[in-house]
A and B are shown apart, each in its own frame.
Chain A
């Protein structure tokens, strides 16, 4: 048993990155000082300096709800390597704050987690460029030629996210043929995706505080149902458009959850495998968030869309990092150079032991290309890493195919000391 997950050369690169970011990211400085870490000499040294992913949503939600943007700047500054010195005069809402930051070179990534509270992390144009190149590289590595020969389809729909739009455009420039599918009709939007998620998070809080009105709740249920219908309409539109050109070559970008829903839409129309006949590619990152996918779901999706295993490009990544790990023919994920994968114990405090070449535990990532942030992250994912190489022939660590989430809920928990969350039912789950 050993805990040696990294070689000396890599530890040296981590230390160089750490030294630089420690001077720039106030929270990293505080954390490293608290833990007495001034240099990374072993893999274990870096563990207490890694940020749980929740760090990017550690702001008090009232700051957003009450529009205290000056304080949001100060909070964002604490987790960023570049100072957030941006005038927020005249900013009236969340989208306005993000716009203002963007026009000052802070491309702040926002996403809503399962609890509804949005995370915010700063990215620079350097981060964005590295991220886009990494995605293109992952496709090219799997033999997908950037020759503008593909009909590109995004099943997930637009999140209105600036970075997703940028990377979508970059991929299209290199891979998409000019005569692609028509765009699905955009239903008139009274609010953006982010504003909707932010309203949902705010309502959930008000529910817990007992101040949400029944009318607000009913409105939210109605809006959620309408959005759900829009998603289904969109998938049906794409199904029509793709079936009309079923023998042409598709590059389909999706999360597993959207892919499964698309499969269901096709099945409901009685479509069988074999209708799509070209050598299609599925480009997938992200899990099954909020959708129940059966065990053989992936195989069913790939069969339906006529995607051979080698043309299934699957990424393991997270929004906190620029780089990713891409799956080989064995289904194992190989991190790109500059992305360090560590396996910790479930608590995220110690390196997991390496037993017979395998480390089993909580995934942590250090992105040495992270520019506007520290890039050291502890995830909620349960992974296994083989440090001895991969049957596909590549050396270096590989992440085994089965990746699951660590659950925070004990199976047997019973205590009289509760939280208000126990009193909030329903609507947030959808």
Chain B
């Protein structure tokens, strides 16, 4: 039997990282379970899970159910002010630990957590609810409509019970997940990833400092367990306790979780995605244009050192092989630049190196620029390569017409950055029909407009339970 310390252990005295749990307003420390992070295999310990504390029985409504949305927005605005990195001890503490366990360079983490949290501004939150749910009123109460035959219905977006499987590749994303869970007044349980078990709890502790007994805080829990642990998932993933499993990402963790899906327990899956870019022949009109297009492409590809779904991996460039090679020569110079959210990333993956070493003997049909140090690598090929470009690797493919790129888009293609911007109109239908979910301006892949669909759906709309009181 292990003991659960009542105060936070001092990091310098520890051999293993301590990962706290957060249970409806309370922080829990303990070393009952030992785990290892994925990728880097760093050991850490967590307390045991007390199931009865994290599952709110269906006989009890969500703590936020009867709290007006205006009050919840007040609370989230207050949270936003307290998430200032310079003044927030929890983020200051979690940041270096997250850097250590995720391998994301500390400077990038630091810059990421200094980004303005625009989605937590009141007008932004109101706009998102209005765009995705129709109105603020529908969250607080019953909104009436009358059909053409004169009969009335009253609809409410009723708070759901959600388990969020948070993606590990972009720590800032958990803030959005927490906000979204609150905007729909859900009961929220966050399953944190082993590559970032700290950020979620740091944000929730910040919220508990405002008022540990606030209904918002009492609806939030964050736990770590090893993804796929049947002793935990077999208990929690049930219609009797939760409505929906909200999964950001893919892989083994989701494949495994999907087997629990059944009547009353749904999967809201934001699937693993790949992205691409298309560049028009206007890039060859002048040196200035060439550099502009190359820099915008490099900037999209380099974000989070290319470890995000919005980052392009293949770029289709309208031009001859000679023109495209000129583009690649310029592109590599822009790709190796350190940027706000890029730099200091891992070396090129061995599988890419093996493949590219092979291609080096196939010039001029294939050509490469850059090296294997993780700063940037460009591969020009007559068709997309059969391996997955990552760690700042771009595969550039010449196309005769911009619209030809649609042939390479599939349901797995999330974002397509287009340059010049005015040619979006020309390609967007074909891309959309091929399965693409977002067409954006090249260089803006990481900057999402508020209130837009994600992966083919409006997330908040999918989270809530739409309930009707109608005349029949």
Contacts and interface: CB of A to CB of B under 8 A. Distances in A.
Nearest to B382: A62
Interface string B376-410: 00000111011010100000000000000000101
B50 to A, nearest CB: 22
B249 A412 contact: no
A415 B249 contact: yes
Contacts of A423: 271, 410-412
Given A54-B354, A58-B357, A412 B273 contact: no
A347 B386 CA distance: 22
Nearest to A59: B358
Interface in A403-430: 409-420, 422-423
Nearest to A68: B365
Interface in A19-61: 26-27, 30-31, 51-52, 54-55, 58-61
Nearest to B257: A414
B226 A418 contact: no
Given A210-B410, A417-B308, A418-B271, A412 B360 contact: no
Point out which of A210, A348, A413, A420 has the most chain B C-beta atoms below 10 A from its C-beta.
A413
Interface string B297-326: 000000000111101000000000000000
B274 A414 contact: no
A75 B360 CA distance: 9
Nearest to A209: B410
A184 to B, nearest CB: 37
A347 B434 CA distance: 38
B361 interface: yes
Interface residues of B, number: 59
A336 interface: no
A413 B365 contact: no
Interface string B407-449: 0101110000000000000000000001100000000000000
A58 B358 contact: yes
Contacts of A413: 38, 168, 227, 251-253
Given A30-B360, A71-B362, A418 B410 contact: no
B350 to A, nearest CB: 6
A416 B386 contact: no
Contacts of B270: 416
Nearest to B409: A210
A54 B357 CA distance: 12
B194 interface: yes
A322 interface: no
A416 B357 contact: no
A205 B272 contact: no
B360 A55 contact: no
A417 B411 contact: no
B273 A410 contact: no
Given A411-B252, A412-B253, A414-B250, A420 B226 contact: no
Contacts of B39: 410
Looking at A51, A74, A79, A418, the one whose CB has the most chain B CB atoms below 10 A away is A418
Interface in A361-387: none
B194 to A, nearest CB: 5
Given A411-B228, A412-B194, A417 B410 contact: no
Interface in B171-210: 173, 193-195
A77 interface: yes
B170 A416 contact: yes
A321 B384 CA distance: 32
B168 A414 contact: yes
A51 B355 CA distance: 12
Nearest to A349: B350
A422 B251 contact: yes
Contacts of B309: 416-418
Interface in B229-285: 247-254, 270-274
A26 B361 CA distance: 9
Contacts of B358: 27, 55, 58-60, 75, 78-79
A31 B358 CA distance: 11
Given A26-B361, A77-B361, A413-B252, A420 B410 contact: yes
A210 B248 contact: no
Given A30-B360, A412-B227, A416-B167, A58 B355 contact: yes
A62 B387 CA distance: 12
Interface in A166-211: 205, 208-210
A74 B165 CA distance: 47
A212 B200 CA distance: 42
Contacts of B142: none
B307 A415 contact: yes
Interface string A207-237: 0111000000000000000000000000000
Contact of A416 (B248, B361, B383, B411): B248
A115 to B, nearest CB: 10
B248 A71 contact: no
Contacts of A62: 382-383, 386
A418 B249 contact: yes
B227 A30 contact: no
A205 B386 contact: yes
Contacts of B250: 414-416, 418, 422
Interface of B: 37-39, 165-170, 173, 193-195, 226-228, 247-254, 270-274, 306-309, 311, 350-351, 354-355, 357-362, 365-366, 381-383, 385-386, 388, 390, 408, 410-412, 434-435
15 contacts: A27-B361, A60-B358, A60-B359, A74-B362, A77-B361, A117-B386, A410-B251, A412-B195, A414-B248, A415-B307, A416-B249, A417-B274, A417-B311, A418-B309, A423-B410
Given A51-B354, A415-B307, 13 more contacts: A60-B381, A62-B382, A62-B383, A75-B362, A79-B358, A205-B386, A210-B435, A411-B38, A411-B228, A412-B226, A413-B252, A414-B247, A418-B250
9 A-B pairs closest in CB distance: A418-B272, A58-B358, A410-B38, A78-B361, A416-B309, A210-B410, A412-B227, A415-B169, A414-B249
